[in-house]
Chains A and B, each alone.
Chain A
Amino acid sequence: MLQKIIRRALATVVVLIGVSIIAFLLVRLAPGDPAKLMLPDTATEETIQAMREKMGTDKPLFIQYLTYMKNVLKGDLGTSYHYNRSCSQLIFSRLPSTAKLAGFGMLLSLCFSIPLGMIAGIKKGSFIDTLSMFFAMIGQSMSHVWLGLMLILIFAVNLKWLPSMGTGTFKHMIMPAIVIGFQFSALATRMVRSGMIDVLQEDYITATRAKGISKFKVYTKYAFKNALLPVVTVVGSQVGAMMSGSMVIETVFSWPGIGSLTTQAIYNRDYQLIQSILLISATIFVVCNLLVDILYTFIDPRISFN
C-alpha cells in the first residue's frame, strides 16, 4: 500500500516537472519583452539590454529554465517586478483567502447537493426530483459572472442583505462561496441522484432490508455510502475547476485571493508572477488529486492503488 502511494507520488512529481516546463515556456513565448515593460518608454537600448541581463532573459531558454528550477527548489519563486516583492510571499499571502472561499464553497455545495440528490434519487420521478434535475441543468450551464452579478444585484443592491465586495466578515464570504460552489453542486446533485437510483436496485440493498434494517437507515447509512463514492472521485478534479473559477469570481467580488492576483498579474504582464502562480496552482491541483485518490482507497475497499 505504502509502496503504491510512493509510486503514485513519484508520478505526480513527473507531472509537476512537465507543468513547470509548460508554465515556463508559455510565459516566455508570449509576445512582448518583459524587460521593456519594466522601463519607461524613453529607455535607451542600452538600459533595456542591461535590464535583460539583470532579469536573465538574454540567456538561452534552457539555461533560464535550469536557473529557474534551481531557485524554485530552494524555495525562491523569483520576484514580481510589478509589486517588487517575492512571488512566493505574494502568493502565500493570498492563498489562505482563496482556500477559505473554495473550501466553504465546496462544503456549502455538498451540504446542499447530497441531501437533494439523495431525496431526488429515492423519490425518482417526483416533483422534487424534477426540480433537482432542473437545478442541475441550470447549474451546469450558468456562467460564474452572470450568477455573481445577479446575486449582487438581488442581495447587495436591492435587498441590501449582503456586502457586494471585499472581505472580513462571514457575510462577505456567502455570495462568492455560492458562486464558486454552484457548478459543483449541480454536478454532485446529479451524481448522487443517479448513484442512489442505481444502488437502490442492488441485491445487497434488498438483502439489507431483509435483515430488518429500516428504510431510513438503509438510505442514510448503507445506500448513502455506496452512492457517495463517485462524488469523492470528482472532488479532486473540482479543485481545478474552482481555481479557474476563482479568477472570475474573485474579480467580480473583489476577493483578495489567488484568482484576483492572477488577473492582476496578467494585466500587468507580470511574467514571473504568472509563471509562479501557474506552478503553485498546478501543484495544488495535482496534490489534491493525489490526496483524493489515497482517500478513495480507504473508503472503497475494492479499489487498490494502481
Chain B
Amino acid sequence: MEDLLKIEDLYVEYRVGGTVAKAINGVDLTIGKGEALGLVGESGAGKTTTALSVLNLLPEKIGFITKGKITFDGRSVLDMSDKEMSGIRGSKISMVFQNPLTSLNPVFTVGHQVEMVLEHHKHLNKKEARAEAVKLFAMVGIPEYRLNDYPHQFSGGMRQRVGIAAALACSPELLIADEPTTALDVTIQAQILEMMKDLQKQYSTSLLMITHNLGIIAELCQKVAIMYGGKIVEYGTVEEVFNHPKHWYTIGLINAIPKLKGERERLESIPGLVANSQDLPGGCSFHPRCRYCTEQCMNEIPATEEVAEGHYVACWNRRT
C-alpha cells in the first residue's frame, strides 16, 4: 500500500514560562492510502500534539517541533510555505477536534463554519456554499432549517456533527479525528462512529483515529499504534496487537476493558500515574508503572523491534 502520511522521528516540546514539556519523543508512524490507523493512549500521551504537528498548527511560541520529518503525499509538511499549507489544511488533511463544545466559534452560525471551508477551498460563492453545506448537514443528520443557528443552540453531539461536516466538506485524503466521541454520550457515540465508518468507506479516506477507547479501534481501524509518554510503544494490525499484545502497557490497557462474557473478574488497572511530560522518567517512560521492569528498563530507552511481520514493540522485557 502506498504511504499517504509518514511521520519520522518526531520530537515536540511545549515551552511555557520556564518549564519544558517533552510531549513527543521520537514518534514514527505511517498511514497508507485508504487505511485507518487508531492511535491509543492515556490522557497526556501526546495524541493531540501528534495531530496538530501533522497540520503544523502547534500553538505559536509555545509548541515547537524540535526534530523530525512529516511527509504527506510525498511532500514535506514542515517545509511548506504558509500558503501551500493553507491549501492543504481543511481540504486534503482535515481534523475533527477533541472538544465539540470549544471548537466552534460561538459568534458565527454553524452553517457559516462549514461554508467557510467551501468558500476557501472550492471558491464557491455564498449561495453555492450554502447549497453545498445543506447537503453536508443532511449527510450528518442536521436539517436545513438549523443552519442559521449558533453553536450554543446545539447539543454536544450535534456540534460534533458540525465539526465532522466541516471536516468532510472537501472530501479529504486524510481525516484526523481527535477523540471525536469522548465528549458525547454512548448512544450518540455509536451514531457518530457508524457515520464515520460509512463516510470513510464511501470516500476511501485515510483515517487517523485518536481515542483511548480500544473498542472504537477494533470497530473502525486496520492498524493500531499505542502511545505512551510521547512514544509509540507498540504498533501493528489490530488483530495482531489485540490478540498478541507484547508491551506491558498494551496488555494493561486490554486487561482494563470490562468483559461481558465469562466470569466477572476484578478489573485490572495499571498502577501508578500517567507519565508527566514535564518530568519524564529516564529509560523506558513506562518503567515506574511496570511490574516487569528490569535494570536496563530504568536506564536505556528501549529500541523498537519487529516481533512479527508488521508488529513492532519497544520494550526490553516484552511478553513472550
Contact = CB atoms under 8 A, between A and B. Distances in A.
A203 B59 contact: no
B18 to A, nearest CB: 15
A33 interface: no
A212 B90 contact: yes
A225 B52 contact: no
B55 interface: yes
A104 interface: no
B163 A207 contact: yes
A299 B106 CA distance: 11
A266 to B, nearest CB: 45
A212 to B, nearest CB: 4
B33 interface: no
A211 interface: yes
A202 B163 CA distance: 15
Interface in A263-306: 299-302
A203 B97 contact: yes
B116 interface: yes
Interface in A41-83: none
B105 A208 contact: yes
Contact of A213 (B97, B120, B163): B120
Contacts of A206: 52, 57, 59, 97, 103
Q: Chain B CB within 10 Å — which of A202, A205, A206, A225 has the most? A: A206
Given A211-B90, A212-B117, A212-B121, A222 B108 contact: yes
A183 B76 CA distance: 50
Interface residues of A, number: 23
Interface in B150-193: 150, 152, 163, 166
Given A212-B86, A301-B152, A201 B59 contact: yes
Contact of A209 (B57, B87, B106, B152): B57
B107 A212 contact: no
Contact of B82 (A208, A211, A215): A215
Given A203-B97, A215-B82, A210 B90 contact: yes
What is the size category of the interface that chain B forms with chain A?
20 to 34
B94 interface: yes
B57 A212 contact: no
A229 interface: yes
B88 interface: yes
Given A226-B107, A302-B150, A210 B102 contact: no
A300 B107 contact: yes
A301 B106 contact: yes
Given A206-B52, A211-B89, A214-B82, A229 B107 contact: yes
Nearest to B86: A212
Contacts of B83: 214
A209 B89 contact: yes
A146 interface: no
Interface string B114-146: 001100110000000000000000000000000
B86 A214 contact: yes
Nearest to A212: B90
B50 interface: no
A226 to B, nearest CB: 6
A208 B116 CA distance: 9
Contacts of B25: none
Interface in A205-255: 205-215, 222, 225-226, 229
B91 interface: yes
Contacts of A215: 82
A78 to B, nearest CB: 47
Interface string B93-113: 011011100111111100000
Contacts of B95: 207, 210
Contacts of A299: 107
Contacts of B163: 207
Interface in B237-290: none
A214 B82 CA distance: 8
Contacts of B55: 210
A213 B152 contact: no
Nearest to B52: A206
A85 B179 CA distance: 74
Which of A201, A300, A302 has the most chain B CB atoms inside 10 A of its CB?
A302
A203 B115 CA distance: 19
Among A207, A211, A213, A229, the most chain B Cβ lie within 10 Å of the Cβ of A211
21 contacts: A203-B97, A203-B103, A204-B104, A206-B52, A206-B103, A209-B89, A210-B89, A211-B89, A211-B94, A211-B166, A212-B86, A212-B89, A212-B91, A213-B90, A214-B83, A214-B86, A215-B82, A222-B108, A299-B107, A302-B107, A302-B150
Pairs A-B, 5 closest by C-beta atoms:
A212-B90, A211-B90, A301-B150, A203-B102, A212-B89
